[in-house]
Amino acid sequence: MSTRSLEVVAHRGASAERAEHTRGAYELALEQGADGLECDVRVTLDGHLVCVHDRRIDRTSDGRGVVSRRTAESMAALDFTGWFRSSAGLAPPTGPEGVLRLEELLGLVRDHGRAVRLFIETKHPVRYRGLVERELARLLRRYGLAAPPVRDESAVLMMSFSAAAVRRFRAEAPGVPTVLLFEQARGALRRGVLPPWADLAGPGIRVVRRDPGLVPRIAAHGRDTYCWTVDDPRDVALCRDAGVRFVATDAPATTRSHLSGS
Protein backbone atom coordinates (compact mmCIF):
# COMPACT_ATOMS: atom_id res chain seq x y z
CA MET A 1 0.00 0.00 0.00
CA SER A 2 1.22 3.49 -0.75
CA THR A 3 1.34 6.21 1.88
CA ARG A 4 -1.63 8.59 1.74
CA SER A 5 -3.28 11.24 3.90
CA LEU A 6 -4.39 10.25 7.40
CA GLU A 7 -7.74 8.44 7.63
CA VAL A 8 -9.89 8.21 10.75
CA VAL A 9 -11.10 4.79 11.93
CA ALA A 10 -13.79 4.59 14.62
CA HIS A 11 -12.45 2.27 17.33
CA ARG A 12 -15.31 -0.04 18.34
CA GLY A 13 -17.55 2.59 16.75
CA ALA A 14 -17.90 6.08 18.19
CA SER A 15 -17.14 4.46 21.55
CA ALA A 16 -16.51 7.71 23.43
CA GLU A 17 -20.19 8.59 22.93
CA ARG A 18 -21.99 5.25 22.58
CA ALA A 19 -21.54 1.81 24.09
CA GLU A 20 -18.73 0.05 22.26
CA HIS A 21 -19.47 -2.52 19.56
CA THR A 22 -23.16 -1.64 19.35
CA ARG A 23 -25.05 -0.75 16.21
CA GLY A 24 -25.68 2.69 17.67
CA ALA A 25 -21.94 3.30 18.10
CA TYR A 26 -21.25 2.39 14.47
CA GLU A 27 -24.18 4.35 13.10
CA LEU A 28 -22.98 7.43 14.96
CA ALA A 29 -19.43 6.92 13.63
CA LEU A 30 -20.79 6.83 10.08
CA GLU A 31 -22.82 10.00 10.73
CA GLN A 32 -19.64 11.66 11.99
CA GLY A 33 -17.85 10.89 8.74
CA ALA A 34 -15.43 8.18 9.89
CA ASP A 35 -13.35 6.79 7.03
CA GLY A 36 -13.36 3.35 8.61
CA LEU A 37 -14.83 1.25 11.42
CA GLU A 38 -12.94 -1.09 13.75
CA CYS A 39 -14.36 -4.11 15.52
CA ASP A 40 -13.18 -7.12 17.53
CA VAL A 41 -14.72 -10.49 16.78
CA ARG A 42 -15.15 -13.73 18.71
CA VAL A 43 -16.92 -17.02 17.93
CA THR A 44 -20.00 -18.03 19.89
CA LEU A 45 -20.92 -21.54 20.98
CA ASP A 46 -23.16 -21.89 17.94
CA GLY A 47 -20.52 -20.67 15.48
CA HIS A 48 -21.49 -17.03 14.92
CA LEU A 49 -19.02 -14.14 14.81
CA VAL A 50 -20.00 -11.42 17.27
CA CYS A 51 -18.46 -8.02 18.00
CA VAL A 52 -17.12 -8.32 21.54
CA HIS A 53 -13.69 -7.30 22.81
CA ASP A 54 -13.42 -9.20 26.09
CA ARG A 55 -13.33 -12.95 26.58
CA ARG A 56 -16.30 -12.52 28.91
CA ILE A 57 -19.42 -10.38 28.46
CA ASP A 58 -19.58 -9.25 32.09
CA ARG A 59 -18.10 -5.76 31.53
CA THR A 60 -20.20 -4.74 28.54
CA SER A 61 -23.59 -6.36 29.14
CA ASP A 62 -26.09 -7.19 31.85
CA GLY A 63 -25.19 -10.87 31.46
CA ARG A 64 -22.28 -13.02 32.48
CA GLY A 65 -20.12 -15.71 30.96
CA VAL A 66 -17.56 -16.50 28.29
CA VAL A 67 -18.48 -15.60 24.71
CA SER A 68 -17.43 -19.00 23.34
CA ARG A 69 -19.75 -20.77 25.80
CA ARG A 70 -22.84 -18.76 24.97
CA THR A 71 -25.04 -18.75 21.88
CA ALA A 72 -25.55 -15.66 19.75
CA GLU A 73 -29.27 -15.95 20.38
CA SER A 74 -28.83 -15.87 24.16
CA MET A 75 -26.63 -12.77 23.92
CA ALA A 76 -29.11 -11.05 21.61
CA ALA A 77 -31.52 -11.00 24.55
CA LEU A 78 -29.05 -9.12 26.77
CA ASP A 79 -28.45 -5.37 27.00
CA PHE A 80 -25.01 -4.25 25.79
CA THR A 81 -25.71 -0.52 26.32
CA GLY A 82 -26.84 -0.04 29.91
CA TRP A 83 -23.35 -0.22 31.44
CA PHE A 84 -22.22 2.69 29.29
CA ARG A 85 -25.28 4.85 29.88
CA SER A 86 -24.95 4.33 33.61
CA SER A 87 -21.23 5.12 33.79
CA ALA A 88 -21.59 8.17 31.56
CA GLY A 89 -24.76 9.41 33.26
CA LEU A 90 -26.58 9.45 29.91
CA ALA A 91 -30.16 8.83 28.92
CA PRO A 92 -30.46 6.20 26.21
CA PRO A 93 -30.64 7.68 22.67
CA THR A 94 -32.23 4.37 21.66
CA GLY A 95 -33.45 1.31 23.47
CA PRO A 96 -31.28 -1.52 24.78
CA GLU A 97 -29.22 -3.40 22.20
CA GLY A 98 -28.23 -7.05 22.16
CA VAL A 99 -24.92 -8.38 20.93
CA LEU A 100 -23.95 -7.18 17.45
CA ARG A 101 -23.18 -9.91 14.94
CA LEU A 102 -20.42 -9.23 12.44
CA GLU A 103 -22.84 -10.08 9.66
CA GLU A 104 -25.06 -7.19 10.74
CA LEU A 105 -22.10 -4.80 10.78
CA LEU A 106 -21.05 -5.93 7.30
CA GLY A 107 -24.58 -5.19 6.11
CA LEU A 108 -24.47 -1.74 7.70
CA VAL A 109 -21.22 -0.92 5.88
CA ARG A 110 -22.48 -2.39 2.60
CA ASP A 111 -25.71 -0.39 2.69
CA HIS A 112 -24.05 2.90 3.65
CA GLY A 113 -23.97 5.40 0.80
CA ARG A 114 -20.29 6.24 1.28
CA ALA A 115 -17.33 3.88 0.87
CA VAL A 116 -16.12 2.90 4.35
CA ARG A 117 -13.44 0.37 5.31
CA LEU A 118 -14.01 -2.21 8.02
CA PHE A 119 -11.01 -3.25 10.15
CA ILE A 120 -11.76 -6.61 11.77
CA GLU A 121 -9.58 -7.83 14.65
CA THR A 122 -9.73 -11.51 15.55
CA LYS A 123 -9.15 -12.01 19.28
CA HIS A 124 -6.66 -14.49 20.77
CA PRO A 125 -6.09 -16.71 22.63
CA VAL A 126 -9.49 -18.33 22.13
CA ARG A 127 -11.18 -21.63 22.91
CA TYR A 128 -11.51 -22.65 19.24
CA ARG A 129 -8.04 -22.32 17.73
CA GLY A 130 -8.18 -21.02 14.16
CA LEU A 131 -11.97 -21.17 13.90
CA VAL A 132 -12.42 -17.42 14.04
CA GLU A 133 -10.19 -16.88 10.99
CA ARG A 134 -11.93 -19.64 9.03
CA GLU A 135 -15.36 -18.27 9.86
CA LEU A 136 -14.30 -14.74 8.99
CA ALA A 137 -12.98 -15.82 5.58
CA ARG A 138 -16.18 -17.78 4.96
CA LEU A 139 -18.37 -14.80 5.81
CA LEU A 140 -16.33 -12.46 3.62
CA ARG A 141 -16.63 -14.88 0.71
CA ARG A 142 -20.38 -14.92 1.21
CA TYR A 143 -20.48 -11.12 1.02
CA GLY A 144 -18.17 -11.03 -2.00
CA LEU A 145 -15.43 -9.30 -0.01
CA ALA A 146 -12.74 -11.99 0.07
CA ALA A 147 -11.19 -11.19 -3.31
CA PRO A 148 -11.11 -7.41 -3.91
CA PRO A 149 -10.16 -6.45 -7.50
CA VAL A 150 -7.66 -3.90 -6.13
CA ARG A 151 -5.98 -4.91 -2.88
CA ASP A 152 -5.37 -1.33 -1.72
CA GLU A 153 -9.07 -0.54 -2.15
CA SER A 154 -10.37 -3.52 -0.18
CA ALA A 155 -13.44 -2.71 1.90
CA VAL A 156 -12.19 -5.05 4.64
CA LEU A 157 -8.87 -5.50 6.44
CA MET A 158 -8.11 -8.29 8.93
CA MET A 159 -6.01 -7.62 12.04
CA SER A 160 -4.57 -9.51 14.98
CA PHE A 161 -1.85 -9.39 17.62
CA SER A 162 -1.34 -13.08 16.88
CA ALA A 163 1.14 -13.70 14.07
CA ALA A 164 -0.25 -17.22 13.70
CA ALA A 165 -3.77 -15.82 13.26
CA VAL A 166 -2.68 -13.40 10.54
CA ARG A 167 -0.85 -16.20 8.71
CA ARG A 168 -3.89 -18.48 8.99
CA PHE A 169 -6.19 -15.83 7.60
CA ARG A 170 -3.79 -15.03 4.75
CA ALA A 171 -3.97 -18.71 3.74
CA GLU A 172 -7.79 -18.61 3.86
CA ALA A 173 -8.29 -15.27 2.04
CA PRO A 174 -5.04 -14.18 0.37
CA GLY A 175 -6.68 -11.21 -1.36
CA VAL A 176 -7.71 -9.42 1.85
CA PRO A 177 -5.12 -7.02 3.35
CA THR A 178 -3.82 -7.88 6.82
CA VAL A 179 -2.55 -5.77 9.73
CA LEU A 180 -0.07 -7.12 12.28
CA LEU A 181 -0.84 -5.39 15.58
CA PHE A 182 1.91 -4.96 18.17
CA GLU A 183 2.76 -3.20 21.43
CA GLN A 184 6.53 -3.40 21.01
CA ALA A 185 8.73 -3.17 17.91
CA ARG A 186 11.55 -5.70 18.00
CA GLY A 187 13.95 -7.20 15.51
CA ALA A 188 12.89 -6.74 11.91
CA LEU A 189 9.80 -4.78 12.96
CA ARG A 190 11.97 -2.19 14.64
CA ARG A 191 13.78 -1.72 11.32
CA GLY A 192 10.42 -1.24 9.60
CA VAL A 193 10.38 -4.67 7.94
CA LEU A 194 7.11 -6.59 8.03
CA PRO A 195 6.72 -10.32 7.39
CA PRO A 196 5.44 -11.18 3.89
CA TRP A 197 1.99 -12.18 5.18
CA ALA A 198 1.31 -8.76 6.77
CA ASP A 199 0.41 -5.76 4.60
CA LEU A 200 0.28 -3.04 7.26
CA ALA A 201 2.02 -2.41 10.56
CA GLY A 202 -0.26 -1.89 13.56
CA PRO A 203 1.65 -0.24 16.41
CA GLY A 204 -0.01 1.18 19.50
CA ILE A 205 0.34 4.91 19.99
CA ARG A 206 2.92 4.35 22.73
CA VAL A 207 5.20 2.71 20.18
CA VAL A 208 4.92 5.71 17.87
CA ARG A 209 5.47 8.14 20.74
CA ARG A 210 8.71 6.37 21.67
CA ASP A 211 9.91 6.08 18.08
CA PRO A 212 8.14 8.32 15.52
CA GLY A 213 10.81 7.35 13.00
CA LEU A 214 9.37 3.85 12.88
CA VAL A 215 6.55 5.01 10.61
CA PRO A 216 8.81 6.40 7.84
CA ARG A 217 11.03 3.29 8.13
CA ILE A 218 7.96 1.16 7.48
CA ALA A 219 6.97 3.44 4.58
CA ALA A 220 10.47 3.09 3.12
CA HIS A 221 9.70 -0.63 2.74
CA GLY A 222 6.46 0.15 0.90
CA ARG A 223 4.04 -0.47 3.78
CA ASP A 224 1.51 1.70 5.57
CA THR A 225 0.80 2.07 9.28
CA TYR A 226 -2.41 1.67 11.30
CA CYS A 227 -2.01 3.19 14.79
CA TRP A 228 -4.24 2.51 17.80
CA THR A 229 -5.82 4.08 19.94
CA VAL A 230 -5.35 7.78 19.18
CA ASP A 231 -7.54 10.26 21.08
CA ASP A 232 -5.21 12.97 22.38
CA PRO A 233 -4.85 15.87 19.88
CA ARG A 234 -1.07 15.78 20.38
CA ASP A 235 -1.04 12.14 19.34
CA VAL A 236 -3.24 12.89 16.33
CA ALA A 237 -0.72 15.53 15.21
CA LEU A 238 2.18 13.15 15.88
CA CYS A 239 0.62 10.46 13.70
CA ARG A 240 -0.19 12.91 10.92
CA ASP A 241 3.34 14.32 10.91
CA ALA A 242 4.95 10.87 11.06
CA GLY A 243 2.99 9.69 8.01
CA VAL A 244 0.57 7.23 9.62
CA ARG A 245 -2.11 6.10 7.14
CA PHE A 246 -4.91 5.12 9.55
CA VAL A 247 -5.61 6.14 13.18
CA ALA A 248 -8.07 4.24 15.34
CA THR A 249 -9.88 6.61 17.70
CA ASP A 250 -12.74 6.41 20.19
CA ALA A 251 -13.89 9.89 19.13
CA PRO A 252 -13.95 10.10 15.32
CA ALA A 253 -15.73 13.47 15.15
CA THR A 254 -13.25 15.10 17.53
CA THR A 255 -10.27 13.56 15.77
CA ARG A 256 -11.53 14.71 12.38
CA SER A 257 -11.95 18.19 13.87
CA HIS A 258 -8.35 18.19 15.08
CA LEU A 259 -7.16 17.24 11.60
CA SER A 260 -9.25 19.81 9.75
CA GLY A 261 -8.26 22.57 12.16
CA SER A 262 -4.53 21.86 12.04
Give the end-to-end CA distance of the chain in Å, rounded to a whole number.
25
Can you say whether the dihedral through the CA atoms of 8, 11, 13, 17 is positive or negative? negative
89 neighbors 82 (Cβ within 8 angstroms): no
- CA-to-CA distance for 199 and 119, rounded, in angstroms? 13
- CA-to-CA distance for 156 and 174, rounded, in angstroms? 12
Which helix or strand (DSSP H or E) is residue 168 part of? helix 163-172
In a domain, 69, yes or no: no
Domain count along the chain: 1
In a domain, 209, yes or no: yes
- The answer, yes or no, to whether residue 2 has pLDDT greater than 60, is no
- CA-to-CA distance for 230 and 247, rounded, in angstroms? 6
11, 21, 48, 258: the catalytic one is 11
pTM of the model: 0.95
The amino acid at residue 182 is: F
- The predicted-structure confidence for 177-188, as pLDDT tens digits, reads as follows 999 999 999 999
Question: Quick one: pLDDT band at residue 117, thresholds 50, 70, 90?
Answer: very high
48, 53, 112, 124: the catalytic one is 53
Q: Quick one: pLDDT at residue 129?
A: 79
- The predicted-structure confidence for 18-45, as pLDDT tens digits, reads as follows 999 999 999 999 999 999 999 999 999 9
Q: Is 11 annotated as catalytic?
A: yes
In a domain, 85, yes or no: no
109 neighbors 155 (Cβ within 8 angstroms): yes
In a domain, 13, yes or no: yes
In a domain, 48, yes or no: no
- The predicted-structure confidence for 43-94, as pLDDT tens digits, reads as follows 999 999 999 999 999 999 999 999 999 999 999 999 999 999 877 666 555 6
- CA-to-CA distance for 243 and 225, rounded, in angstroms? 8
- CA-to-CA distance for 84 and 60, rounded, in angstroms? 8
- The answer, yes or no, to whether residue 200 has pLDDT greater than 80, is yes
Q: Quick one: pLDDT at residue 3?
A: 43
In a domain, 227, yes or no: yes
Domain that holds residue 39: 7-43+102-261
- CATH number of the domain to which 115 belongs: 3.20.20.190
The 8-class DSSP code of residue 118 comes to E
The 8-class DSSP code of residue 64 comes to -
143 neighbors 171 (Cβ within 8 angstroms): no
In a domain, 217, yes or no: yes
Three-state DSSP class for residue 214 = helix
In a domain, 36, yes or no: yes
